[in-house]
Structure 1
Amino acid sequence: MPEARRALLRVAAALATRDAGRVRAALADAAGVARTEEVDEVLLQSHLFVGFPDALNALAVWREVSGAAAPAALGEDPPGWEARGERVCATVYGANYAKLRENVSGLHPEFDGWMVTGGYGRVIGRPGLDLRTRELCIAALLAVWNVPRQLHSHLRGSLNAGASVAEVDEAVEIACAELSEERAAAVRGLWGEIRERGGVNGSA
């Protein structure tokens, strides 16, 4: 995996620790190897998982350590977010896409729309960072955030988005570096179950 992508994964995992020192260190490391706009995208998408306050704080640190000014707004057209969200979400969830929509609608129909249009259309489907890298970053963040159900989906989603097994292995290990031995073992165990049940092997 290129060092720039590893740096993005370390930023994502550090964000989930909610430790300001770890976030600053990961961002400082990323400043030397990753493209500014790609770090921006990792920080922007993190608000879907860690919330606006932590994302805003991380963006402030990133502006400081990178020395880069905020980019111009993309000027995107919101009416296009729904169709883009459906495409991106279907890619990530693959054969489980219809079931996901059904399940989320059963929890609350508004949340289904927010997930697809807001989450996948407005944010995860943005240009500036490829979907494979986005999903690997999300998986690393969720592994540290300790949400096994969502982690399962995005480990599978990384593969569906084109990541190799070796790349997911590396994302898992980057996340595990932020965890206790017990928590790291649980994350590795979950990924191992996915590989075994899905017939995934090291050559994929």
Structure 2
Amino acid sequence: MGWSGPPIRSRSPVETSRSPRYRRSVSRIAPLELLVDLSIAVCRGDWDALLALRAVRPPDRRFREALLQLHLFVGFPQVVEAFGRLERAGGVGAPSPEESELEPDLPDRGRELFRRIYGDHAARVEQALGSHPQLHGWVLGHAYGRVLTRGGLATFERELLAVTALCLRGPARQLASHLRGALACGATRAELEELLTLLEGRLGPTAEHLSAARQALERLPLEPEAS
């Protein structure tokens, strides 16, 4: 399953961890750059780039968590394909016992994060999920409760990686929501600007959803709203 969205400017081959691309910044975005590229590669179905990233640094838990999370944004088939390609290239490392523990869906934990992200708008956003109770349960219990609150990555990092995926795939409404979520979970506007600048370098300045992300960021309040 390949990338079916708008054309994206080709990127140069992945650099090594000693490259300036991976050490030019002292902000909290710098440690995410490889995971941002991982997200881009999987969203695009660029398996050569994915395998090149594996060669940059042996996969660790952060790598695995970023890859697992992507099923929320690109679907299970794309993530299963990514894991298969990586396994044939030498694997993704050995998960720790904590990482491997199977958790049930966690709706209470998910609702807490949902309210943290959406604040006073949480009830309206939840209502917009539609009338089917199973969808509500999957979003709150699985996406927010089981996935976005897992260990291995800070919540603000998960939100920044969600923004990355949505800058490639859309839709614009969910992109704006996760920009808000990144702010609510501890990212700064400067870090969001830095991420969007990084993505502009990867995707090109005319990428459809990147423009929407910049517009959405401009509309957000200077400080996240209290929940």
TM range (shorter): 0.7 to 0.9
Does 1:123 pair with 2:150? no
Look up the SS of the partner of 1:177 in the other structure: helix
Does 1:5 pair with 2:27? no
The separation in 1 between residues aligned to 2:31 and 2:218, in whole angstroms, is 29
Q: Which of 110, 114, 118 lines up with 1:85 in the alignment?
A: 110
**Are 1:13 and 1:137, in contact at CA under 8 Å, matched by a contact in 2?**
no
Task: Determine the structure 2 residue equivalent to 1:153.
Answer: 177
Deviations 1:91-114 (A, max 9, x none): 2222321111111133x2221111
Does 1:191 pair with 2:218? no
RMSD (Å), alpha carbons: 2.5
The separation in 1 between residues aligned to 2:41 and 2:118, in whole angstroms, is 25
Q: Identity of paired residues, percent?
A: 29
The separation in 2 between residues aligned to 1:196 and 1:181, in whole angstroms, is 17
Q: 1:76 to 1:162 in 2, by over 3 A?
A: same
Amino acid at match of 1:124: L
Name the structure with the higher helix share: 1
The separation in 1 between residues aligned to 2:148 and 2:119, in whole angstroms, is 16
**Are 2:196 and 2:210, in contact at CA under 8 Å, matched by a contact in 1?**
yes
The separation in 2 between residues aligned to 1:78 and 1:122, in whole angstroms, is 7
Q: Which runs of 5+ in 1 are unaligned?
A: none
**Aligned length, in residue pairs:** 194
Q: 1:111 to 1:98 in 2, by over 3 A?
A: same
Does 1:57 pair with 2:98? no
Q: Which of 42, 57, 60 lines up with 1:15 in the alignment?
A: 42
Q: Which runs of 5+ in 2 are unaligned?
A: 1-26
The separation in 1 between residues aligned to 2:36 and 2:198, in whole angstroms, is 7
Deviation (angstroms), 1:166: 1.8
> How is 1:18-167 mapped onto 2 (pairs within 5 angstroms)?
18-29=45-56, 31=57, 36-63=60-87, 64=89, 68-72=93-97, 74-78=100-104, 81-106=106-131, 108-167=132-191
The separation in 2 between residues aligned to 1:173 and 1:84, in whole angstroms, is 32
Amino acid at match of 1:39: F
The separation in 2 between residues aligned to 1:167 and 1:61, in whole angstroms, is 32
Deviation (angstroms), 1:131: 0.4
Q: 1:196 to 1:47 in 2, by over 3 A?
A: closer
Deviations 1:53-108 (A, max 9, x none): 221222234453666234445435526x11111112222222321111111133x2
The separation in 1 between residues aligned to 2:90 and 2:182, in whole angstroms, is 29
Deviations 1:164-202 (A, max 9, x none): 112112222333334344325x523x333333322439x
The separation in 1 between residues aligned to 2:33 and 2:101, in whole angstroms, is 29
**Are 1:28 and 1:65, in contact at CA under 8 Å, matched by a contact in 2?**
no
Amino acid at match of 1:142: L
